[in-house]
Amino acid sequence: MTTRFSKEHEAHIPSDGEPAPVDLELIAQGVRMILEGLGEDPERPGLQETPRRVAEMYAELTSGMREDAAQHVVPLPGDKHDEMVIVKDISIASMCEHHLAPFVGKCHIAYIPRDGRILGISKLARLAETFSRRLQLQERLTTDIANTLFEGLKPIGVMVVIEAAHTCMTLRGVRKVEAKTVTSAVLGGFRTDPRTRAEAMALITGKE
Ligand SMILES: [Zn+2]
pLDDT tens for residues 77-88?
Answer: 887 888 999 999
Distance 100 CA to ligand 1 centre (A): 7
Q: Residues 86, 109: contact at Cβ < 8 Å?
A: yes
pLDDT of 18 strictly over 90:
no
Distance 49 CA to ligand 1 centre (A): 26
Distance 134 CA to ligand 1 centre (A): 13
Distance 119 CA to ligand 1 centre (A): 32
pLDDT confidence of residue 93:
96
**Long-range pairs for 171-177: beta carbons < 8 A, 24 or more residues apart:** 171/101
Of all residues in the chain, the percent with pLDDT exceeding 70 is 89
Least Cα distance to 189 among 155, 143, 165 occurs for 155
pLDDT tens for residues 23-68?
Answer: 999 999 999 999 999 999 999 999 999 999 999 999 999 999 999 9
pLDDT confidence of residue 77:
85
The strand pair at 101-112 and 85-96 is best described as antiparallel
Distance 88 CA to ligand 1 centre (A): 25
Distance 138 CA to ligand 1 centre (A): 10
Taking the model in full, what pTM does it have? 0.86
Give the three-class secondary structure for 146.
Answer: helix
pLDDT of 164 strictly over 50:
yes
pLDDT confidence of residue 176:
67
pLDDT of 12 strictly over 50:
no
Q: How far is CA 86 from CA 67, 121, 152, 191, 203, in A?
A: 25, 10, 17, 16, 8
pLDDT average, residue stretch 122-145:
97
Rounded Cα gap, residues 95 and 92, in angstroms: 10
Catalytic residues: 96-99, 138, 166, 168
pLDDT confidence of residue 178:
76
- Which DSSP helix (H) or strand (E) runs through 89? strand 85-96
202 exposed, middle or buried (CB, 10 Å; 0-12, 13-18, 19+)? exposed
pLDDT confidence of residue 175:
65
pLDDT of 172 strictly over 90:
no
Q: How far is CA 166 from CA 173, 193, 196, in A?
A: 12, 32, 30
pLDDT tens for residues 87-122?
Answer: 999 999 999 999 999 999 999 999 999 999 999 999
Distance 112 CA to ligand 1 centre (A): 33
Q: Tell me phi and psi for residue 108, to 5 degrees.
A: -120, 130
pLDDT of 11 strictly over 50:
no
pLDDT of 6 strictly over 70:
no
User: For 16, how many CA atoms within 13 A lie in the half-sphere containing its CB?
Assistant: 0
